[in-house]
Structure 1
């Protein structure tokens, strides 16, 4: 289909009128600046008038995009046709059991299972997963939780955490049936299949049993959706009597917990993106309460892992003390009683300008370190013997053949002779490896491939190409790009292009396989993933150069990536679309205002487009936690003025905006539906162009959209069909598509 042949669709679109929300001026004044918001009334979720308006938005969107339905259906069938629907995860061992999940064709949700493990005394054999076949039960297989049964008759289903006691008898699981990320916790006796009477409502992510199985730890959120309490429930006692282990009252700090790798401690992590605090609870001295590692007043960003090093209590710290890209040190607990400047910390992994240390953990024999170098995440292991001394061994890194890939530890058990590594690249479906930890007999360790996720429909990685390219930003900074295309696309300046970005919270857009993306590439769309500032791809400074008062670098980097694509020789510059979600949706709104002429279409998923209004209200979900990312516009006039200069809703102007789709959910607790609802009204009233601006709202979903896998595939097909149709790239390339 040529780019011009979408004219009939445009003619059809112009005859359908969008809903026009009434204007009720609401005055907002801060630091002497007045903003009049005509659409703030749309925030009232309980109002029948608001709900009717949102339904009218959906009706308009459905009418405008009705001609895309065959393309959406084709893309859905391509996703479905490439996915092995009856499948399973690689079993992972915990204590005496192998745990795994099954997915079954025609069913939306996975089924959690387990089977007993063997203990023969041969460590590698005992840690070799059983051969489980899709659709075939194993002798002795137990079903822990069937999501399809749990979800019956419910509008939404998601599991927010699960845990099993060390003895394997009790299974705790937390379920959300509305999409608002508040979970109900239940406990099943796996010997009988009966549910215990203990039911805990309104908990957040994260569940763990004490090693003796008598207590269950969980997190609770406050009214603004911030996890602020860790509680302990003693099994068999009233929930009303649950003990608050710790409460965090600073609204700008986030609270979480985990068990230490050796399960001797409960580890509480309190922090923001700039500094943190860890508190420890020893299970063998429970009544002694919490002990502090490094107080937050020292403004160190760190994680602490308590463990025994040659029988001696030790702490492994991953920290940014005198190390912008972080490093790894050892410290003895008695050192923590001294002033910070006098403490003796022993270096395990030193600081490097080129290497970002993301985290470190321990097994009974090794330290496992996650690092990022040249944008790529890697795994390194170091023996515990000699750790932190002159005799420390050299790091060993599992090696992979591809240039652009992602490898990360997806699980390790303290006693295991192996660590589980997840691996993927843009065109290598996800693989699961066990890496046998190095020994004297096996000094480089050994990678054992346990599974590569099957891709059906005649998929061949050789049909696609991924390259690393670089755009040059306005200030001369080189911005890494991942450029993905079908191998048959010619560099003749006629193809369509899509630029995708995020660029916030030090989140990296790492290489990863996506079945749905193939439906775009098979239609000749050249896709650029822009690794822009505000992300974490090039270390901590890459993040710091795209937050607070340097946030606009995120937007100008994205526009530079677009300019690179326009001048690359691959695409027709008039056939470029942009896509991003959440904070990447704020990015979409910003670039639509700054350079509307560069894009034929923009898809903004759950877009954070009214950021200033949200962050000025500390009562709104997660607002206070955002100050460290964007600045605090409540107290800081400079932060207010800077945000005011880019926040998308307040900077809509008279311009010929491209086709825009804002995709959102009514129950999203992170980016409220009201932001895109207001934004599309402002865009329509200001746009001097004729392209339609639509809002698609999922009335049952949360921040990730609806919950079942088929529903999620349909949502992805909707987004991609909107892009492909807008770019006139609806036809498959010769020989491409399902085989």
Structure 2
């Protein structure tokens, strides 16, 4: 690694006194939360300049990595078509272009292709572009869509006339981007956001050809810990409003043939009652945690009587099986389950003549149902991949039990052979005796030992499970001798709902200690050593990285914290910041003194101390709506002031993007190449 003597930026200190529950915190960098302030922009640009100077010697290598990653991707790629309401829908990419092209064919795949959207044309003149929420009217003549050209996830909805390819004058701003058509093909339901907090809070009804200012509010969510959305049931009979928080759900339903009538309450919210609904014939099918069903169970209720007293058990709760989701077909019910961390797909016939599981034989893999929008079919589409196996899209005939592999992800470049790689599942022991799973992949010809570089990744929040998935980008690390490990820490649902409950609220520090336990296990079992161990996490996973480097900095040679949620306490005390109030059930409400003290005990920004830290790369986006840019900026400023080592501390701010980084598929690869170059440079690997 080449070292350059360049002085890092030094953020000015403007002490701000923050008082809560009689506790006084002094925040020297609170001023950085003024997005439009020139001093703030100057500081972020100074950090970017410093980053560029300190990584100047890796730029050629970054370019090589980018080209290498790009060369593995089939540039002129096309999705497997799926059928919906008589049309086959296709998404494709053309060589040298960043954005997708959406099209369809009527009736048969041999038919004439009809262009819906060319996002490459739509993105011209924009630094950022994202198209979401395509919704086709029942008569197939109109499509609504949402566009974001900033990266803040505030979408403008428009409607395209598919008969003459013109755009209707209707324009609806500050939405989630998605919308649902009533069956009259004229009425559209959509969700608006709060301008400041970005909470999705109000459902509107829009009639084609009218001004959005005339739109009617059909539902408003007054509780600021809830968000709302609207969608149509797979049966196409109902429009459904979903109200959601971390712990509680509520639904409202409306016959899609009568859009001007009022939505009917399905079952009023009860704190702690989680449920989701699917419609089939004259019943609703309900995945729920009712009656203490920690891992969820399946119930049903008649469509004319949906209150909780009418719910009946269909598949009972099982202690060691997590029911994640269901897919409903005319003759079949498909259950997505998880047992001992592994995905299971169970197929049942409604007449109970069939009940079996799809067979999977890998030690660690990912399998999930895919696009199944058709109702009257015996074909189940699912996706399968593993750490060593590229993703396959498979059509499975549920009657004959035969499968057709429609597409396996192509890894171009001529160098990839999955037989050259090995995956394992290991089990570390946490402080409280729990066994923490680790999914591991590496090249078979890599000699494991103290000098082996290893990148450890985790997320660990919201019950979101990071499954062991294949990545062609990751090959650029594996082929240079790195081991890649996913730590399935508490806070996700890898080992069931209990796994999530034990990594949130007043159990949150389990997430961090689990990760550290995995690091120690990998070192003790000679997969690597602290001189060659690296850690990576983003967003809530960036919080994990921030907490871990405060708690156990000596375990790691370097870490990457992407868009990290590191100023937890201050953010959770500010209910004007986007998404804050909806997060109380995940992190706790610090207006309660017990939660205040607990969050303060681990919040990375509040616990920066005078000690040695590993090499650190931090990334953020100026327009990030999920984790505001100032959190990583303040964290880096405080680390610069406190840390006593000479290791790298770099902050890179994308001044044109938000939480997800760059919007183009190849622009995003450039960010991957930058992160990999940082890691490889620390290992003195530059080719």
Match of 2:519 among 538, 544, 562: 562
2:53 — aligned with what? 63
8 Å contact from structure 2 (residues 243, 250) kept in 1: yes
Q: Using the alignment, how far apart are the partners of 2:265 and 2:143 within structure 1?
A: 31
Q: Shift of residue 526 of structure 1?
A: 1.1
Deviation at 1:683, TM superposition (A): 0.5
CA shift for structure 1 position 344: 4.7
1:703 matched residue in structure 2: 659
**Aligned equivalents of 1:172 and 1:501: distance in 2?**
36
Alpha-carbon separation, structure 1, partners of 2:355 and 2:200:
36
Aligned pair 1:577/2:534, yes or no?
Answer: yes
Corresponding pairs, count: 683
In 1, Cα distance between equivalents of 2:620 and 2:449: 37
Deviations 1:639-695 (A, max 9, x none): 000000100001000111111111010000010110011001111111110012110
In 1, the alpha carbon distance for the partners of 2:550 and 2:683 equals: 20
Q: How far 1:464 sits from its partner (Å)?
A: 1.0
- 1:687 aligned onto 2:643: yes
Separation in 2, partners of 1:265, 1:139: 31
Render the CA deviation track for 1:38-91: whole Å, top value 9, x for unaligned.
Answer: 001011011111111110000001111111212211211111111111110000
Counterpart of 2:268 in structure 1 is 295
Alpha-carbon distance, 1:334 to partner: 5.0
Pairing of 1:588-607 with structure 2 (within 5 A):
588-607=545-564
Question: C-alpha separation between the residues in 2 aligned to 1:570 and 1:286?
Answer: 60
Shift of 1:620: 0.5
Q: 2:454 aligns with which of 485, 494, 497?
A: 497
Moved more, 497-506 or 286-295: 286-295
Equivalent in the alignment of 1:123: none
Q: Aligned to 2:280, which of 290, 300, 307?
A: 307
Aligned to 1:101: 91
Residue 193 (str. 1) matches residue 165 (str. 2) = yes
Q: Is the 8 A contact 2:182 2:257 kept in 1?
A: no
Counterparts of 1:232 and 1:650, CA distance in 2: 45
SS of 2:670 mapped into structure 1: helix
- How far apart, in 2, do the equivalents of 1:237 and 1:688 lie? 63
In 1: Cα distance, 2:253 partner to 2:381 partner: 26
- Cα deviation per residue 1:684-708 (whole Å; 9 max; x = unaligned)? 1111100121100101111100101
Q: Provide Cα deviations, 1:294-341, integer angstroms capped at 9, x if missing partner.
A: 211364100112321xxxx2110100012100000112245545xx4x
Query: What secondary structure sits across from 2:128 in the alignment?
Result: coil
1:528-570 per-residue CA deviation (whole Å, 9 max, x = no partner) reads: 1100000110011100000010100000000011111112222
**Which whole-Å deviations, capped at 9, do the CAs of 1:122-153 have from their partners, x for residues lacking one?**
xxxxxxxx4xxxxxxx6511110001000001
Q: Cα deviation per residue 1:214-271 (whole Å; 9 max; x = unaligned)?
A: 1112111113111111212111122111122211110001212221111100111112
Partners of 1:393 and 1:543 in 2: CA distance: 35
Distance 1:404 1:590, change over 3 A: same
* Superposition map of 1:479-558 within 5 A: 479-558=436-515
Structure 1 residues 703 and 298: CA distance shift in structure 2, 3 A: closer
Using the alignment, how far apart are the partners of 1:350 and 1:625 within structure 2?
30
**What TM-score, normalized to structure 1?**
0.90
How do residues 425-436 of structure 1 correspond to structure 2 at under 5 angstroms? 425-436=386-397
In 1, distance between residues paired with 2:347 and 2:260?
35
1:414 to 356, 375, 378: 375
Structure 1 residue 167: Cα displacement: 2.0
1:286–1:169: structure 2 CA closer, same or farther, 3 Å change rule? closer
Counterpart residue number, 1:272: 245
Q: Structure 1, residues 394-428: CA drift from partner, whole Å, max 9, x if none?
A: 53322234232211121211223312212221122
CA contact (8 A) 2:253 2:263 kept: yes
Q: Distance in 2 between matches of 1:638 and 1:513?
A: 41
Aligned to 1:372: 338
Q: Which residue in 2 is equivalent to 1:46?
A: 36
Q: Which residue of 2 aligns with 1:630?
A: 587
Describe the superposition over 1:580-617 as per-residue Cα deviations: whole angstroms up to 9, x where unpaired: 00000000100010011111111000000101111100
Which residue number in structure 2 is paired with residue 179 of structure 1?
Answer: 151
State the shift of 1:188 in Å. Answer: 1.4
Partner residue in 2 for 1:22: 12
Instruction: State the Cα deviation string for residues 105-128 of structure 1 (Å, max 9, x = none).
Output: 11010100111124xxxxxxxxxx
Is residue 187–residue 259 contact of structure 2 (8 Å, CA) maintained in 1?
Answer: no
Query: 2:299: which partner in 1?
Result: 329
